[in-house]
């Protein structure tokens, strides 16, 4: 008899926070429409003489904005992006015609060199360093918000490995500050606010509670067969004192994992020093599990936090910041681009079980 996790799943799962971001979970092999080609291996060298982000080549980067712990002995270094997608130098006012509306490309685009070792992966960094890294994200986000009132969102993200679109092999993150709130963040903020007004609860807190305590068996009305069994902790990948890593029930990507603070917190900028240490541990262990299961994970991750905008001033109780990690194991097809409906070929329950089964040292 097959366990529920091995059963063929073919269903459209609704994202509880943003229903329009739903996913077709289709585990039948014949439905597998896409398999990314074997990704180019990532660069694991510690130092590369010609790399502008390696130590000794500091003169090759644009001017430094900040360095941790200091400029001479840096472990993390923030610099301007050499090819920014947004800039603060635009002189010309917008010209709009009919429906051809534009808003100017005002914003900031910065690069954070995450480590002085060229090809180090997140799970290979020690937890003291990871706490420093997430503290650097927080500091720089705060400074950017303060630097200009027009900036309403600072997106922190990381592309790791060629399969995830990283153009420079040296491990780095990026910060993009924009005068508009990204659509997917806006949808999360607005939908969670509506949920809060109706239920007087944060929907993310409710999801964490469900992941931790929910237990149910759903039977078929006619045959009495078990439709779905939900076990305690079925979606939990890792947990610390203050953070939890969850495999979302409606994951759009096969190995997608979200990390959230266990206690409600709307704005990542409020994270404390203790929190950073715990987050570092949960992050390192989660990434180690992903790397072990995938045999070298190439991924994107990004932070979703409360936008700094007048529209969101009442959303601190209803929004809950989180980190979304999306390893790249397949490429979107025409079906996905055309329908907006993502296909996930690994049942999230089975993925969670595999990730939990990894023995960490």
Rank residues 23 and 205 by Cβ distance to Zn ion and give the closer one: 205
Taken in order 191, 196, 202, 208, the sign of the CA dihedral is negative
Instruction: Please name the residues in contact with 225: beta carbons below 8 A apart, sequence gap of 6 or more.
Output: 219
Rank residues 148 and 184 by Cβ distance to Zn ion and give the closer one: 184
Chain centre distance of CA 105 = 24
Residue 197: phi and psi, rounded to 5, are -65, -35
Q: Binding marks (x or -) toward Zn ion, 273..312, rule CB under 5 A? A: -------------------------------x--------
Radius of gyration of the chain (CA): 21
Interaction of residue 118 with Zn ion, rule CB under 5 A: yes
Interaction of residue 51 with Zn ion, rule CB under 5 A: yes
Rank residues 48 and 190 by Cβ distance to Zn ion and give the closer one: 48
- Residue 324 beta carbon to Zn ion: minimum distance, rounded to whole angstroms: 5
Residue of 130, 131, 155, 202 interacting with Zn ion (CB under 5 A) = 202
Q: Is the CB of residue 330 less than 8 Å from the CB of residue 344? A: no
d(CA 269, CA 273): 11
Contact window for Zn ion (CB under 5 A) among 50-58, 65-73, 106-114, 227-235: 50-58
Interaction of residue 53 with Zn ion, rule CB under 5 A: yes
Interaction of residue 54 with Zn ion, rule CB under 5 A: yes
Rank residues 27 and 53 by Cβ distance to Zn ion and give the closer one: 53
Question: Could you give the C-alpha distances from 87 to 96, 112, 149, in angstroms and in order?
Answer: 20, 17, 15
- Residue 251 beta carbon to Zn ion: minimum distance, rounded to whole angstroms: 12
d(CA 80, CA 174): 10
Q: Binding marks (x or -) toward Zn ion, 151..170, rule CB under 5 A? A: -------------------x
């Amino acid at each position: 008899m097959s366990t529920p996790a091995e059963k063929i799943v073919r269903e459209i799962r609704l994202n509880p926070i943003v229903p329009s971001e739903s996913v077709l979970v289709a585990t039948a092999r014949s439905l597998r429409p896409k398999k990314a080609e074997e990704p180019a291996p990532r660069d694991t060298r510690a130092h590369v003489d010609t790399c502008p982000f390696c130590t000794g080549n500091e003169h090759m980067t644009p001017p430094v904005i900040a360095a941790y712990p200091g400029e001479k002995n840096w472990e993390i270094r923030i610099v301007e992006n050499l090819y920014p997608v947004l800039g603060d130098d635009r002189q010309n006012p917008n010209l709009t015609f009919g429906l051809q509306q534009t808003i100017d490309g005002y914003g900031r685009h910065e690069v954070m060199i995450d480590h002085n070792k060229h090809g180090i992966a997140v799970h290979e960094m020690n937890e003291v360093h990871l706490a420093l890294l997430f503290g650097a994200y927080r500091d720089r986000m705060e400074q950017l918000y303060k630097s200009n009132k027009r900036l309403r969102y600072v997106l922190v993200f990381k592309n790791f490995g060629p399969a995830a679109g990283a153009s420079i092999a040296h491990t780095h993150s990026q910060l993009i500050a924009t005068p508009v709130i990204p659509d997917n963040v806006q949808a999360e903020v607005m939908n969670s606010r509506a949920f809060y007004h109706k239920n007087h609860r944060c929907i993310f807190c409710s999801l964490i509670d469900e992941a931790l305590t929910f237990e149910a068996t759903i039977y078929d009305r006619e045959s009495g067969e078990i439709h779905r069994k939900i076990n305690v902790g079925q979606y939990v990948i890792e947990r610390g004192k203050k953070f939890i890593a969850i495999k979302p029930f409606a994951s759009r990507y096969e190995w997608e994992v979200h990390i959230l603070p266990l206690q409600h917190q709307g704005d990542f900028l409020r994270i404390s020093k203790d929190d950073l240490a715990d987050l570092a541990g949960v992050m390192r262990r989660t990434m180690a599990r992903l790397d072990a299961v995938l045999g070298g994970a190439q991924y994107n991750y990004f932070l979703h936090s409360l936008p700094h905008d007048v529209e969101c001033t009442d959303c601190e109780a209803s929004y809950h910041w989180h980190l979304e990690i999306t390893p790249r194991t397949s490429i979107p097809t025409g079906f996905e681009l055309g329908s907006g409906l993502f296909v996930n070929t690994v049942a999230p329950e089975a993925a969670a079980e595999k990730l939990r089964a990894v023995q960490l040292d």
